[in-house]
Amino acid sequence: SQQGEEDPQALSIQEGENATMNCSYKTSINNLQWYRQNSGRGLVHLILIRSNEREKHSGRLRVTLDTSKKSSSLLITASRAADTASYFCPIRGNKLVFGAGTILRVKS
Amino acid sequence: NAGVMQNPRHLVRRRGQEARLRCSPMKGHSHVYWYRQLPEEGLKFMVYLQKENIIDESGMPKERFSAEFPKEGPSILRIQQVVRGDSAAYFCASSPPDRINYGYTFGSGTRLTVV
Protein backbone atom coordinates (compact mmCIF):
# COMPACT_ATOMS: atom_id res chain seq x y z
CA SER A 1 0.00 0.00 0.00
CA GLN A 2 1.27 3.47 -0.82
CA GLN A 3 -0.64 5.21 1.94
CA GLY A 4 0.55 6.12 5.40
CA GLU A 5 -1.05 4.24 8.26
CA GLU A 6 -1.90 6.33 11.29
CA ASP A 7 -2.04 4.91 14.77
CA PRO A 8 -3.98 4.93 17.03
CA GLN A 9 -7.30 5.12 15.22
CA ALA A 10 -8.71 7.30 17.98
CA LEU A 11 -7.25 9.18 20.93
CA SER A 12 -9.05 10.98 23.72
CA ILE A 13 -7.18 13.24 26.16
CA GLN A 14 -7.78 16.09 28.58
CA GLU A 15 -6.99 19.65 27.65
CA GLY A 16 -3.41 20.48 28.58
CA GLU A 17 -2.13 16.95 28.04
CA ASN A 18 0.18 15.95 25.21
CA ALA A 19 -1.03 13.90 22.26
CA THR A 20 1.19 11.57 20.26
CA MET A 21 0.21 10.04 16.95
CA ASN A 22 2.24 7.65 14.86
CA CYS A 23 2.57 6.99 11.18
CA SER A 24 4.05 4.00 9.37
CA TYR A 25 4.67 3.64 5.66
CA LYS A 26 6.19 1.16 3.24
CA THR A 27 7.71 3.07 0.35
CA SER A 28 10.77 5.31 0.01
CA ILE A 29 9.94 8.97 0.56
CA ASN A 30 11.39 12.41 -0.17
CA ASN A 31 9.37 13.96 2.60
CA LEU A 32 6.55 13.20 4.99
CA GLN A 33 3.70 15.57 5.68
CA TRP A 34 1.07 15.83 8.40
CA TYR A 35 -2.37 17.31 7.82
CA ARG A 36 -5.31 18.12 10.07
CA GLN A 37 -8.99 18.05 9.21
CA ASN A 38 -11.53 19.60 11.52
CA SER A 39 -14.94 18.05 11.26
CA GLY A 40 -16.54 18.74 7.90
CA ARG A 41 -13.87 21.13 6.76
CA GLY A 42 -10.94 21.16 4.36
CA LEU A 43 -7.51 19.86 5.27
CA VAL A 44 -4.79 22.05 6.68
CA HIS A 45 -1.13 21.33 6.03
CA LEU A 46 0.63 21.25 9.40
CA ILE A 47 4.25 20.38 8.79
CA LEU A 48 6.59 18.81 6.26
CA ILE A 49 9.74 16.94 7.25
CA ARG A 50 12.29 15.99 4.61
CA SER A 51 13.83 12.55 4.46
CA ASN A 52 17.23 13.88 5.59
CA GLU A 53 15.72 15.47 8.71
CA ARG A 54 15.11 13.62 11.96
CA GLU A 55 13.06 16.15 13.91
CA LYS A 56 11.18 19.34 13.21
CA HIS A 57 9.24 21.79 15.37
CA SER A 58 6.44 24.21 14.58
CA GLY A 59 4.81 25.93 17.54
CA ARG A 60 3.27 23.21 19.73
CA LEU A 61 3.96 20.55 17.10
CA ARG A 62 6.97 18.26 17.08
CA VAL A 63 7.48 15.75 14.29
CA THR A 64 10.08 13.01 14.17
CA LEU A 65 11.05 10.84 11.23
CA ASP A 66 12.91 7.52 11.27
CA THR A 67 13.47 6.43 7.69
CA SER A 68 15.16 3.18 8.77
CA LYS A 69 11.95 2.15 10.52
CA LYS A 70 9.72 3.89 7.99
CA SER A 71 7.87 5.68 10.75
CA SER A 72 7.03 9.16 11.96
CA SER A 73 5.40 10.63 15.03
CA LEU A 74 3.47 13.82 15.63
CA LEU A 75 3.45 15.26 19.13
CA ILE A 76 1.04 18.03 20.08
CA THR A 77 2.00 19.59 23.38
CA ALA A 78 -0.37 21.35 25.81
CA SER A 79 -3.40 20.30 23.78
CA ARG A 80 -6.44 22.54 23.40
CA ALA A 81 -10.06 21.79 22.59
CA ALA A 82 -9.46 23.35 19.18
CA ASP A 83 -6.95 20.57 18.41
CA THR A 84 -9.91 18.15 18.20
CA ALA A 85 -9.66 16.90 14.62
CA SER A 86 -8.50 14.05 12.41
CA TYR A 87 -4.79 13.87 11.66
CA PHE A 88 -3.28 12.31 8.55
CA CYS A 89 0.19 11.44 7.24
CA PRO A 90 -0.45 10.88 3.53
CA ILE A 91 2.31 9.36 1.46
CA ARG A 92 3.32 10.92 -1.81
CA GLY A 93 3.94 9.25 -5.10
CA ASN A 94 2.75 11.57 -7.85
CA LYS A 95 -0.16 12.40 -5.54
CA LEU A 96 -0.93 12.19 -1.81
CA VAL A 97 -2.68 9.00 -0.72
CA PHE A 98 -4.58 9.31 2.55
CA GLY A 99 -5.18 6.65 5.19
CA ALA A 100 -7.97 6.56 7.75
CA GLY A 101 -6.22 9.01 10.08
CA THR A 102 -6.14 9.39 13.84
CA ILE A 103 -9.22 10.99 15.38
CA LEU A 104 -8.08 13.16 18.28
CA ARG A 105 -10.58 14.39 20.84
CA VAL A 106 -9.43 16.93 23.40
CA LYS A 107 -11.84 17.26 26.32
CA SER A 108 -12.10 20.55 28.16
CA ASN B 1 -3.01 35.26 -1.54
CA ALA B 2 -6.58 33.96 -1.40
CA GLY B 3 -5.65 30.29 -1.16
CA VAL B 4 -7.46 27.55 -3.04
CA MET B 5 -10.97 28.70 -3.90
CA GLN B 6 -13.73 26.19 -4.47
CA ASN B 7 -17.25 26.99 -5.51
CA PRO B 8 -19.97 26.49 -4.88
CA ARG B 9 -19.64 25.58 -1.20
CA HIS B 10 -22.88 23.64 -1.31
CA LEU B 11 -24.60 22.18 -4.34
CA VAL B 12 -27.92 20.37 -4.49
CA ARG B 13 -28.81 18.40 -7.60
CA ARG B 14 -31.67 16.09 -8.49
CA ARG B 15 -30.87 12.63 -9.73
CA GLY B 16 -29.98 12.73 -13.42
CA GLN B 17 -28.76 16.34 -13.43
CA GLU B 18 -25.20 17.50 -14.00
CA ALA B 19 -22.92 18.87 -11.30
CA ARG B 20 -20.02 21.23 -12.04
CA LEU B 21 -17.50 21.90 -9.31
CA ARG B 22 -14.89 24.62 -9.72
CA CYS B 23 -11.45 25.01 -8.22
CA SER B 24 -9.07 27.94 -8.57
CA PRO B 25 -5.60 26.98 -7.36
CA MET B 26 -3.27 29.21 -5.42
CA LYS B 27 -1.31 31.70 -7.45
CA GLY B 28 1.85 30.06 -8.74
CA HIS B 29 0.51 26.53 -8.29
CA SER B 30 0.41 24.53 -11.48
CA HIS B 31 -0.73 21.18 -10.04
CA VAL B 32 -4.34 20.45 -9.08
CA TYR B 33 -5.74 17.40 -7.32
CA TRP B 34 -9.34 16.38 -6.68
CA TYR B 35 -10.42 14.21 -3.75
CA ARG B 36 -13.78 12.85 -2.66
CA GLN B 37 -14.83 12.24 0.92
CA LEU B 38 -17.92 10.21 1.64
CA PRO B 39 -19.64 10.74 5.01
CA GLU B 40 -17.59 9.27 7.87
CA GLU B 41 -14.86 8.12 5.46
CA GLY B 42 -11.37 9.26 4.50
CA LEU B 43 -10.25 11.19 1.45
CA LYS B 44 -10.07 9.23 -1.77
CA PHE B 45 -7.90 10.47 -4.60
CA MET B 46 -9.73 11.08 -7.87
CA VAL B 47 -7.54 12.91 -10.38
CA TYR B 48 -4.31 14.89 -10.73
CA LEU B 49 -4.02 17.58 -13.38
CA GLN B 50 -1.53 20.08 -14.65
CA LYS B 51 -2.45 22.86 -17.04
CA GLU B 52 -4.28 21.28 -19.99
CA ASN B 53 -3.12 17.78 -19.02
CA ILE B 54 -4.51 14.92 -16.98
CA ILE B 55 -1.54 13.30 -15.24
CA ASP B 56 -3.27 10.62 -13.17
CA GLU B 57 -6.96 9.76 -13.24
CA SER B 58 -6.68 6.38 -11.55
CA GLY B 59 -9.26 7.33 -8.91
CA MET B 60 -11.93 8.59 -11.28
CA PRO B 61 -15.00 6.44 -11.88
CA LYS B 62 -14.96 5.25 -15.47
CA GLU B 63 -18.32 6.75 -16.34
CA ARG B 64 -20.05 10.07 -15.75
CA PHE B 65 -17.01 11.79 -14.18
CA SER B 66 -14.58 14.07 -16.01
CA ALA B 67 -12.08 16.75 -15.05
CA GLU B 68 -10.22 19.49 -16.83
CA PHE B 69 -7.73 22.22 -16.03
CA PRO B 70 -7.69 24.58 -19.00
CA LYS B 71 -4.95 27.03 -19.87
CA GLU B 72 -7.16 29.85 -18.63
CA GLY B 73 -9.65 29.59 -15.79
CA PRO B 74 -10.34 27.19 -12.96
CA SER B 75 -10.20 23.43 -12.87
CA ILE B 76 -13.62 21.84 -13.33
CA LEU B 77 -14.85 18.51 -11.99
CA ARG B 78 -17.95 17.48 -13.88
CA ILE B 79 -20.37 14.77 -12.83
CA GLN B 80 -23.05 13.85 -15.34
CA GLN B 81 -26.35 12.19 -14.51
CA VAL B 82 -25.74 12.33 -10.77
CA VAL B 83 -26.96 9.55 -8.50
CA ARG B 84 -27.52 9.51 -4.73
CA GLY B 85 -24.18 7.77 -4.21
CA ASP B 86 -22.38 10.83 -5.60
CA SER B 87 -23.40 12.79 -2.50
CA ALA B 88 -20.10 13.65 -0.82
CA ALA B 89 -17.65 16.42 -0.08
CA TYR B 90 -15.30 17.11 -2.99
CA PHE B 91 -12.00 18.73 -2.12
CA CYS B 92 -9.52 20.35 -4.44
CA ALA B 93 -5.86 20.88 -3.59
CA SER B 94 -3.01 22.58 -5.39
CA SER B 95 0.75 22.48 -5.13
CA PRO B 96 3.68 24.29 -6.70
CA PRO B 97 6.07 22.55 -9.11
CA ASP B 98 8.51 22.00 -6.20
CA ARG B 99 6.87 19.00 -4.54
CA ILE B 100 9.86 18.09 -2.40
CA ASN B 101 9.73 21.09 -0.14
CA TYR B 102 6.07 22.08 -0.22
CA GLY B 103 2.83 20.43 0.73
CA TYR B 104 -0.63 20.76 -0.71
CA THR B 105 -3.02 23.60 -0.03
CA PHE B 106 -6.61 22.43 0.18
CA GLY B 107 -9.80 24.31 -0.54
CA SER B 108 -12.80 24.27 1.78
CA GLY B 109 -14.62 21.79 -0.40
CA THR B 110 -17.91 21.55 -2.25
CA ARG B 111 -20.61 19.55 -0.53
CA LEU B 112 -22.76 17.87 -3.13
CA THR B 113 -26.16 16.57 -2.16
CA VAL B 114 -28.15 14.54 -4.66
CA VAL B 115 -31.87 14.39 -3.93
pLDDT at position B1 is 55
Kindly list the residues from chain B whose CB atom is less than 8 angstroms away from the CB atom of residue A33: 103-104
Quick check: A99 and A4 in contact, CB under 8 A? yes
Q: What distance in Å separates the CA atoms of residue B21 and residue B9, rounded to the nearest whole number?
A: 9
Shortest alpha-carbon distance between residue A28 and chain B (Å): 13
Phi, psi torsion values for B85, nearest 5 degrees = -70, -10
| pLDDT mean over B76-103 | 93
The least confident of A38-42, A49-53, A82-86, A88-92 is: A38-42
- Position B97 confidence tier, pLDDT thresholds 50, 70, 90: confident
Quick check: B29 and B46 in contact, CB under 8 A? no
Shortest alpha-carbon distance between residue A108 and chain B (Å): 24
Q: Which residue, among B3, B7, B17, has the nearest Cα to B83 in the 3D structure?
A: B17
pLDDT at position A22 is 97
Query: Coil, strand or helix: which one is A57?
Result: strand
Helix (H) and strand (E) counts in chain A: 0, 12
Kindly list the residues from chain A whose CB atom is less than 8 angstroms away from the CB atom of residue B106: 35, 42-45
Q: How does DSSP assign B49-94, residue by residue? A: EETTEEEE-TTS-SSSEEEE--SSS-EEEEE-S--GGG-EEEEEEE
pLDDT tens digits along B13-60: 999 999 999 999 999 899 999 999 998 788 999 999 998 899 999 999
pLDDT tens digits along A24-73: 999 888 899 999 999 878 899 999 999 999 999 999 999 999 999 999 99
Tell me what percent of the residues of chain A surpass a pLDDT of 90: 81
